[in-house]
Structure 1
């Protein structure tokens, strides 16, 4: 990952965050350009995953999907034609956001890794205000901190800079969900096969392969509890028992469970957004919480799901 030159980023973006002219101004550094491209891809519903101002595998796939849908050469690279197409959306890269009481109210508490310890908690909420704000604005907590040096993210009334991912047009309902194991992406398509949206995913592993085939959505469940059965997990710890883990964004399946007609399999969120597209799963399709929440609003019981190589 390239070093993020924060002193220059703050000087340039901080002064221009509220100005429409910023959308037409050439970014001062490559990091600035990548950050803007990630924000614009997110706004166009081709998610690069967690916005971090760096070029990685998730951004490569987001660019390739955007390019293919917009009649551009699908290289996965931020070439001039793609940059110009993205900048048809002249929205500023950053916006100034004032923290409200709900942002800092918590309760915030550390979340243990052990399933049996998780089961003891009354709720699986956020561990810090920065984690909550990161999910709200689709940004890595590390980048959020760099954008806001010296700011108190736990104080209502504090003004901070965040990626401008709000106010995007609503999407139509999807006719089909297509998950590609090799590309590590989930696409929402209309009845004609046109891509409506694309998201990075983690989907299966050697121990728990993605169940290739055609399935359907059986139900959509928001803020689910998680029923942990160690017999279904090859890496369960000795002594683990069946238990139920409370709902919350740090629940093992995040804020959404979309049940598939394949028993024990679903599309769901995750408490670790940085891992999406870059790690394996226990066979299910894992998205960031914000992507899972968006997908949940665009599908319904009976929607076709295609899981392919």
Structure 2
């Protein structure tokens, strides 16, 4: 990958990321929604899939970082928050499509039985693969790359992407707080300071939402998943299967790329194959994060860590 200047970018991209016009302009405060989202992600304050549009999850991430910094929790990109969110490097970069990446793609079956028969539930398309790698909403990639034919992407194609693959969480994690009504999960240090923030999906049925204190029992990267027909009464296939199935790992596994088990049977914090839906749809009972956020959280949890679930 290489960093971008203004060369080759669409007018929309240049408007959203003016730091690209001249690297000598850095460091400076963020100015646009896209810059704000990328800088928040870099610091471990996730606003979900990066889309360049200010919404409820961006506001929640801003409130999280404002809490961490002792600022007024406005949820807005006000002047003190702009001064806090200083850009030190360009917000967009390029990714060159590789033969290895394309070779990893494979269709995702539609039935549970067919899924259980696969060696891995990999990415189905290059758009999905690149979007997840760079924490982006697919529509953002399409807007940044208006000339790209995503159905015929070839080795060597150069794609403009957000310049963020990994979040840097500052501080030592002590515990997790999940707020059900706000649909947010925050990682905090021993003094209660927020060091990371993630949007989260919660159980559809209120009686399946655990309240109180839980604890981490296990943390696994790329887990498999046990499909239990009893848990999916709405599924016509589940009614006829009559047995459990082991679903292989991969980004399109139902629990995504990470599983953090809790000391309540069947409950955990995990990833998802549908990151754009996190915080907007509901789960069967667990706490669902985007895969990139679940992997960030996984690096900072430990067995026995306290998880406080608040209304």
For 1:25-44, what aligned pairs fall within 5 Å after superposition? Answer: 33-44=32-43
Provide the rounded CA distance (Å) in 1 between the counterparts of 2:113 and 2:26.
49
Q: Is residue 2:187 matched to residue 1:185? A: no
Q: Secondary structure at the match of 2:260?
A: strand
The residue aligned with 1:76 is 75
The residue aligned with 2:4 is none
The residue aligned with 1:307 is 309
Quote how far apart the aligned CAs of 1:211 are.
0.6
Provide the aligned length of Structure 1 versus Structure 2. Answer: 298
Quote how far apart the aligned CAs of 1:95 are.
1.3
Q: Secondary structure at the match of 1:239?
A: helix
CA contact (8 A) 2:44 2:168 kept: no
| RMSD between superposed Cα atoms in Å | 2.4
Quote how far apart the aligned CAs of 1:173 are.
4.1
For 1:8-87, what aligned pairs fall within 5 Å after superposition? Answer: 8-12=11-15, 17=20, 19-21=22-24, 23=26, 33-86=32-85
Provide the rounded CA distance (Å) in 2 between the counterparts of 1:289 and 1:167.
12
Q: Is residue 2:140 matched to residue 1:143? A: yes
Quote how far apart the aligned CAs of 1:78 are.
2.0
Q: Secondary structure at the match of 1:202?
A: coil
Shifted more, 219-228 versus 201-210: the winner is: 201-210
Provide the rounded CA distance (Å) in 1 between the counterparts of 2:23 and 2:163.
12
Cα 1:14–1:33 shift into 2, 3 Å: closer
The residue aligned with 2:6 is none
Quote how far apart the aligned CAs of 1:167 are.
6.3
Provide the rounded CA distance (Å) in 2 between the counterparts of 1:16 and 1:159.
20
Provide the rounded CA distance (Å) in 2 between the counterparts of 1:224 and 1:100.
26
Quote how far apart the aligned CAs of 1:22 are.
5.6
The residue aligned with 1:280 is 282
Q: Secondary structure at the match of 2:217?
A: strand
Q: Secondary structure at the match of 1:252?
A: coil
Provide the rounded CA distance (Å) in 2 between the counterparts of 1:261 and 1:252.
20
Q: Is residue 2:236 matched to residue 1:239? A: no
Provide the rounded CA distance (Å) in 2 between the counterparts of 1:293 and 1:177.
15
Quote how far apart the aligned CAs of 1:104 are.
2.1
The residue aligned with 2:200 is 201
Q: What are structure 2's unaligned runs of at least 5 residues? A: 1-8
The residue aligned with 1:3 is none
Quote how far apart the aligned CAs of 1:8 are.
2.6
Q: What are structure 1's unaligned runs of at least 5 residues? A: 1-5
CA contact (8 A) 1:19 1:92 kept: no
The residue aligned with 1:97 is 95
Any idea what the Cα deviations from partners look like across 1:257-305, whole Å, max 9, x if unmatched? 1110111000000000001011111111100000001111111111111
Shifted more, 210-219 versus 15-24: the winner is: 15-24
* TM-score of the two chains, using structure 1 as the length reference: 0.88
Cα 1:76–1:302 shift into 2, 3 Å: same
Provide the rounded CA distance (Å) in 2 between the counterparts of 1:157 and 1:18.
25
Quote how far apart the aligned CAs of 1:158 are.
2.0
For 1:258-277, what aligned pairs fall within 5 Å after superposition? Answer: 258-277=260-279
Q: Secondary structure at the match of 1:145?
A: helix
Quote how far apart the aligned CAs of 1:10 are.
3.5
Cα 1:18–1:123 shift into 2, 3 Å: farther
Quote how far apart the aligned CAs of 1:188 are.
0.6
Cα 1:156–1:170 shift into 2, 3 Å: farther
Q: Is residue 2:128 matched to residue 1:131? A: yes
